[in-house]
Structure 1
């Protein structure tokens, strides 16, 4: 069995996949789970020595990632998005962790980056995410904003995981629409209640205040304001979709 499998979920990521894989070259096994890309993602990944398995997402990140865990050959796994890059310091920390006889699960600090803008507060402030853990006992839960879970004690790794968020606004709003729809469906499956006044009028306002003022989005200037307003509409939209799923099956 390999020591470490880096797992990359991808679909039509030819612009990202090369830099992504190159940042993970220290791993024993690089596994790309491809959702039937129509561009050169598969070819480029294979040329770089990655192992590629095609498997349909079918609207569930949870099942796709759990499938990837089963296909991993490493004793350890690390989830890496195609638009993320492992820094040299993080790579070293990961290698130190997996060579430690005492097993644990590890969070990494993710820093969001744009190509031409900067936003380091509010919605896109740096966060800590669980990404590295032993394969044994690992599981992913949740269809949207899914989380990796592990039975081992958690600690933090040194080094940054760089996340190149969005190339353009079209991509941003495609994900906006996709995620709000999936969240509404997930909430309905859990029988989550929705109130027009509380969740569609007041909750989005609180979401804006929290991101723009309390989390410092105002410090990021124009981009901070735009992202905070979009977070208002993101919050409202997922509850509007949920409200009408209950009311009329989502039809207007």
Structure 2
């Protein structure tokens, strides 16, 4: 019988980790926590609930964290979720069926995002398709931030929803935005990407236009407006940090 490992990356996730594990225990044969140095009760709670806890020192590389686990289990399939994500009952049944069939495919499903107390249907936080379930030996991840899986197998979308309960405050968003944009800027500078001041602003403006108009963010009312403004700031910030790297490394 095929075996499924569910992988969760953590750092200071004590408020989420118990519920996250309780959710995936319904489908997982093994839960693996990849912790990057939690200073709260995350690791103790994970151990209490029977997870396999591994430590990898944080080096600003989300893909490296995800790839780290691939040779640390003998599971046939691997499913990645974040600590603030939950599988719907339909998705749990779909994952069980996938593992029971044992086919050599990669699997996607829809994700619904809730942020700042609102459920979004449009704009930058609109429901999207994510690929998270793979035969373990057929996948690896690339990019230090906004990482993506690389898998050559046929993709199949399965039914069910992954709920993502993200940003609970503006400060939470600002902290993440600062971290992600810094990683993105340094990584893209090292890859040879370059940008000018006006281009950084243009990228930011296009980010707003895409989120608010092209992706119909305005249909979400005030939530759509401020999430689109956030996306403007986020996009401008990551390109401006790239410009700063260029100036410092002339």
TM, length-normalised to structure 1: 0.94
Deviation of residue 72 (structure 1)? 2.6
RMSD value over aligned CA atoms? Answer: 1.6
Deviation of residue 74 (structure 1)? 0.9
User: Superposition pairs for residues 90-239 of structure 1, below 5 Å?
Assistant: 90-114=91-115, 116-197=117-198, 199-239=199-239
Moved over 4 A (4+): none
Q: Secondary structure at the match of 2:54?
A: strand
Runs (5+) with no aligned partner, structure 1: none
Q: Secondary structure at the match of 2:82?
A: coil
Q: Secondary structure at the match of 2:153?
A: coil
Task: Tell me whether 80-89 or 201-210 shows the greater mean CA deviation.
Answer: 201-210
State the distance in 2 between where 1:244 and 1:231 align.
20
Deviation of residue 223 (structure 1)? 1.6
The match for 1:10 is 10
CA deviation string 1:47-86 (max 9, x = no partner): 2111111221211111111102221331100001001011
Q: Secondary structure at the match of 1:22?
A: helix
Q: Secondary structure at the match of 2:138?
A: coil
Q: Secondary structure at the match of 1:99?
A: helix
The match for 1:75 is 76
Deviation of residue 151 (structure 1)? 2.6
CA deviation string 1:18-57 (max 9, x = no partner): 1111110121000011112111111111121111112212
CA deviation string 1:102-127 (max 9, x = no partner): 31100121110136323221010011
2:63 maps to 1:62: yes
State the distance in 1 between where 2:107 and 2:121 align.
23
- Given that residues 29 and 73 in structure 1 are in contact (C-alpha distance below 8 angstroms), is that contact kept between their aligned partners in structure 2? no
Q: Secondary structure at the match of 2:224?
A: helix
Q: Secondary structure at the match of 2:69?
A: helix
TM, length-normalised to structure 2: 0.95
